[in-house]
Amino acid sequence: MPSDLVAEQTRHGLLLLKTRILTVIVVLTQVVGDYFLTYGMKQVGSMVGRGPLEYILALANPWVALGVSLLILWLFSHMVLLSWADLSYVLPVTSIGYVLVALTGHIFLHESVSAGRWCGVFLIVAGVIVVGRTSPSTVKKEERS
Amino acid sequence: MIKWLLVAIIVGATSIGEVLQAAGMKRHGEIHDFRPGALGRVFSAIARNSLIILSVVMMAFSFFAFMALVSVADLSFSVPATAFSYVLETILAKTILKEDVGWHRWAGALLVCAGVALLSL
């Protein structure tokens, strides 16, 4: 039936759309969250050999708190994405974050990017494209209630 | 030496945690409704999901080990060093989660892993 075909295509299109939107949120919250966390932890100092209380106290640093808040958002958006998408799809596709870190370092912080690092950026982008062309969800839905 | 011990803890805990998270969310089922009230119900449901609780415990281990690592090492060491989890998690996704890991997915995981290693140079 043509109408079934249209419905199937619409369903697939919606799946791809929400997968892409969630992927962008997952990538941005992780990249920005990690950046603020590292920035704040450099102010707090070495945590090696410290007790649990000192980890909690590290949250008093505003950059650490901001980083942790973004990483909590990352955790939730990652869970929502994994509610339909395969782990072996989500994992390589969200790695575009590494490329973002390298590019923002180059553009905003004027860090030099060596030829080897550009090769790394190229390989990750290639990996994301190769996996991004597969269907986000391959697991049979029979187990679901 | 302490850096590599932390890297091993991070890779192990992240891989186990993400596999548990994926399994827990698949058990919950696909999320369709993105209105705030519906999302609130989703999170109260997954907070009682044993696989998710266990995964959050593993992610917390991984997170605190990562916090300790970035306090003594640069992010440009910490992030690439933990990239081995890509290969480990793809293996676990195929064997435990029974995902259809075709050659595109293997190639992608290996390209990303190699790319992350090159970025750390």
Cα separation, B24 vs B21, in Å, equals 5
Whether residue A119 is contained in a domain is answered as yes
The interface predicted TM-score (ipTM) is 0.84
pLDDT for res A55: 80
Whether residue A145 is contained in a domain is answered as no
Whether residue A7 is contained in a domain is answered as yes
Residue of A nearest to B100 (CA): A138
* Closest by Cβ to B86, choosing from A37, A45, A91: A91
Contacts of A74 (CB under 8 A, 6+ apart): A26, A29, A30, A33
Q: Which domain holds residue A100?
A: 2-132
Q: Where are the domains of chain B?
A: 2-119
- What is the domain count for chain A? 1
Residues in B closer than 8 angstroms to A45, CB to CB, are 71
Residues in A closer than 8 angstroms to B115, CB to CB, are 95, 98, 119-127
* Closest by Cβ to B105, choosing from A46, A88, A123: A88
Select the residue from B59, B104, B113 to test the A interface by mutation, using most A Cβ atoms within 10 A.
B104
pLDDT for res B121: 65
Cα separation, A99 vs A97, in Å, equals 5
A107 vs A19, more confident:
A19
Check: CB of residue A92 under 8 Å from CB of residue B106: no
The 10s digit of each residue's pLDDT in B46-91 is 889 999 999 999 988 998 898 888 888 887 778 777 888 888 999 9
**Both tokens assigned to B86:** 């890509």
